[in-house]
Amino acid sequence: MTQTGAALGSPKYMSPEQATGQPVEPRSDVFTLGVLLYEMLTRRNPFSREDDVSPFDVMDRIAQEPHPPVREINPEVPAAFEQIIDRALAKKPEDRYASAAEMANALRSIGEKKDKPQTPKADAAAIDALMRVAAQYFGEFAKRAPRRRLRWRARTSRAARSI
């Protein structure tokens, strides 16, 4: 996490509050995880465009514009995944999952819903892959000292850019 008014890492993974210089909290990291999952399912960033001139173009989009629907880009994505990503990418922190653990539980529950035939059952391997990314990203994050968090977040952002 970064301090208010300080920017660290790639702008395309910033939460709206971070992009606008507001205080950040764990829900900011849920937003970042939502961006990573979006990229995994669509092979593109929800806020970056080819014609971006500066990082501020991306930051403005993050703060003000809704992301393109996942299923518009990849119709094979189950609706349940899209709902989870939409909640993770909510502009207001209070509309997001309270923690990565809460989001992980929502992802796990997709495969467990057997009584709702209208929701396609997610492939167990896909859920495992998403959970591994979440575990890698959030592993020991909460236990590290704030100064170490900054370095760890920067390394994680570089790894995510290679996706």
The pTM for the full model equals 0.68
Tell whether 16 is covered by a domain. yes
Tell whether 49 is covered by a domain. yes
- State the Cα–Cα distance between residues 138 and 144, nearest whole angstrom: 11
pLDDT tens profile 32-68: 999 999 999 999 999 999 888 888 999 999 999 999 9
* Total number of domains in the chain: 1
- Give which of 136, 113, 111 is closest to 126, Cα–Cα: 111
Tell whether 149 is covered by a domain. yes
Tokens at 146, concatenated: 């704030």
3-state SS, residue 44: coil
Residue 127 sits in a domain whose CATH number is 1.10.510.10
- Give which of 22, 19, 40, 17 is closest to 137, Cα–Cα: 40
For the chain, give the number of residues.
163
Taking phi over 0 as left and psi of -120 to 50 as alpha, with beta for the rest, 43 belongs to: left
Count of alpha carbons within 13 angstroms of residue 133, beta-carbon side: 22
Tell whether 94 is covered by a domain. yes
- State the Cα–Cα distance between residues 138 and 156, nearest whole angstrom: 10
Tell whether 2 is covered by a domain. no
pLDDT category, 144, cuts 50, 70, 90?
very low
Q: Is residue 93 pLDDT above 90, yes or no?
A: yes
**Burial degree of 3 (CB within 10 A; 0-12, 13-18, 19+):** exposed
Tokens at 48, concatenated: 């970056």
Tell whether 126 is covered by a domain. yes
Domain of 127 in residue numbering reads as 11-161
Tokens at 1, concatenated: 């996490």
- State the Cα–Cα distance between residues 12 and 18, nearest whole angstrom: 11
Tell whether 17 is covered by a domain. yes
Output the CA torsion 4→12→129→80 (10° steps).
90
Lowest pLDDT segment from 29-33, 65-69, 153-157: 153-157
Tell whether 1 is covered by a domain. no
